[in-house]
A and B are shown apart, each in its own frame.
Chain A
Amino acid sequence: MASYTLEGSTGTWEIVCGLEVHAQVTSKSKLFSGASAEYGAEPNSHVSLVDAAFPGMLPVINHECVAQAVRTGLGLNAQINLWSRFDRKNYFYADLPQGYQISQFAHPIIGEGVVDVVLSDGSVKQIGITRLHLEQDAGKSLHDQDPTKSFIDLNRSGVALMEIVSEPDIRSPEEAGAYLTKLRQIVRYLGTCDGNMDEGSMRADVNVSVRKAGEEFRTRCEIKNVNSIRFVMLAVDAEAKRQIAIWEDGGEVVQETRLFDVSKMETRSMRSKEDAHDYRYFPDPDLLPLILEQAWVDELKSHLPELPDAKVARFQSQYGLSPYDARILTGEQITADFYEQVAGSRDAKKAANFIMGDYFAALNKNGWNIESSPITIAQIIDLLDLQDKQVINGRIAKEVWEANVAAYAEVDRETWAQVSFSPSQYVDEKGLKQVLDTGAIDAAVDAVLAANADKVAAFKGGQEKLFGFFVGQVMKAMAGKGNPALVNEALKAKLS
């Protein structure tokens, strides 16, 4: 029995789910034409005669798209098929100029693979990859520009897509979300797809069915074009519940294509397309078989960046980080690189804590990300050094950090280049160095204890929590600059 189940009136149900992810390949030009693949251009300005399917136009394949597919296959620990073939998938739609999509049906470029997915409880689940193939993306239809007409923009027509099909190994909304997150992470690391689901460069078709423990698979439905990880998880949940209700009512789930309605948080049937599924696949006679050299695949492999799983393992062994912290810091390659620059040869755990704590908090609060943040690595290293060398204590460090952030947050972006904030300089200017002089500390402690005799008595009478009060008062008297360890020591001594 799967660990995630849904209770119904007739028993316990488990979810069976597989994802087909369409990931736009990062490349300059399109899969079979020399038009630009860049997003966001004026309508129909990134369209070649091939993309618009004019009479006599022919496809010529883009080498980089092939390489990107192979890199992705390697990142999925998958079989690279040195011989693969393109087929035509025939159907009519206004955003499909050729009246067919060039895809790979019988012989995809990438075969079986596997992806490790870590769940919230720390357990690792393996999700199988069935295949990955290359295909053309379609154009865009706008239905809301005019009451009787649809507007067609072919900029996206012919852009390279990788269709990544998972095995139906997913058993819960969480697993679906984790798998998609991992897949996105892998392609972003590899630079083969930017994973921007909101721009449509990555979309998921979600296949869902339900069953009771020990059963064979029941009928599944496909929910098309879900464009966020969160919606994928919600769609899995909504669809599973819908199907369970049907089965429990004595009905039968009908195999169909559905859409996820985000306003109602439920799936609904697409308009039925009776012969929509007879795609009449046959090998594209305008193309020859795609043949790859093993030596070339090996060369691509040798140049791959360190992938997430390897990086997580190395962060644990090299920096002594916990698995959880290692995963947070390797979520994006840019975060991992940033961390490593900061960690350098210092206390790696402290560096990790700072980045995951105060640093990420500042980014969130100000709407920055690592690329756009004005805080420099030099500033962070300076701040951490000041702490490591005991020049300042933790509370002061927070004050310095806040000033560092404010130096940018409170001025216009255009003036950032003129800001020159240095934590060391700030500490000097404001006289924030930590007090390590035991004489001064004793004096402050004496003064506080003298002013709070009643509390001293209460403490000695058993109210141990008052210790924190005394610490706070001493720190206040010392403007926060007392060394915490020495203050504690002194208080302990004088209160015993």
Chain B
Amino acid sequence: MSLDPAAVRRIARLARLRVNDAEVAALQTDLNSILGWIDQLNEVDVTGVEPLTGGTSIALRQREDVVTVPDLTEDVLSNAPDRDGPFYTVPKVVE
């Protein structure tokens, strides 16, 4: 699978990464190198194999419905790059 510059830009947009032309070219080279190398997996026959998704495959542990978290407003906002009172603030979305 080989990526062209348009594909690289599309992926960058999905990942919210600004890329300029030089970066697109460099990424194209690097990503295609990696993807070409990954393609060796095509050799493997996985018919009938269930995908593994974690370490020990036991059931999800469930917790009791209790409020355990107090008002953490100050902690939650402690590292905010921009805030207004109790709100985080961000540049407006262009609707």
Interface residues of A (CB under 8 A from B): 27-29, 33-36, 42-49, 52, 60-66, 92-94, 141-143, 145-146, 148-154, 271, 274-275, 278, 280, 283, 285, 287-291
Contact = CB atoms under 8 A, between A and B. Distances in A.
Interface of B: 10, 13-14, 16, 53-54, 57-69, 71-73, 75-77, 82, 84-95
Given A42-B86, A149-B84, A154 B69 contact: no
Contacts of B76: 44, 47, 49, 52, 154
A66 B94 CA distance: 37
Contacts of A45: 71-73, 86
B84 A146 contact: yes
Contacts of B59: 288-291
* 6 closest A-B pairs by CB: A34-B68, A64-B65, A291-B59, A63-B62, A151-B87, A152-B88
Q: Chain B interface mostly helix, strand, loop or mixed?
A: loop
Contact of A42 (B65, B73, B88): B73
Contact of A275 (B14, B86, B90, B94): B14
Given A275-B13, A285-B53, A66 B62 contact: yes
B54 A285 contact: yes
A303 to B, nearest CB: 16
A63 B73 contact: no
B87 A28 contact: no
Given A44-B77, A94-B93, A290 B84 contact: no
Given A35-B69, A45-B71, A152 B60 contact: no
B52 to A, nearest CB: 10
A149 B90 CA distance: 5
A168 to B, nearest CB: 29
13 contacts: A28-B65, A33-B69, A34-B67, A42-B73, A47-B73, A48-B69, A48-B72, A92-B16, A143-B95, A149-B89, A149-B90, A152-B89, A275-B14
B67 A29 contact: yes
A267 B25 CA distance: 42
B92 A149 contact: yes
B67 A36 contact: yes
A148 B69 CA distance: 33
Nearest to A160: B65
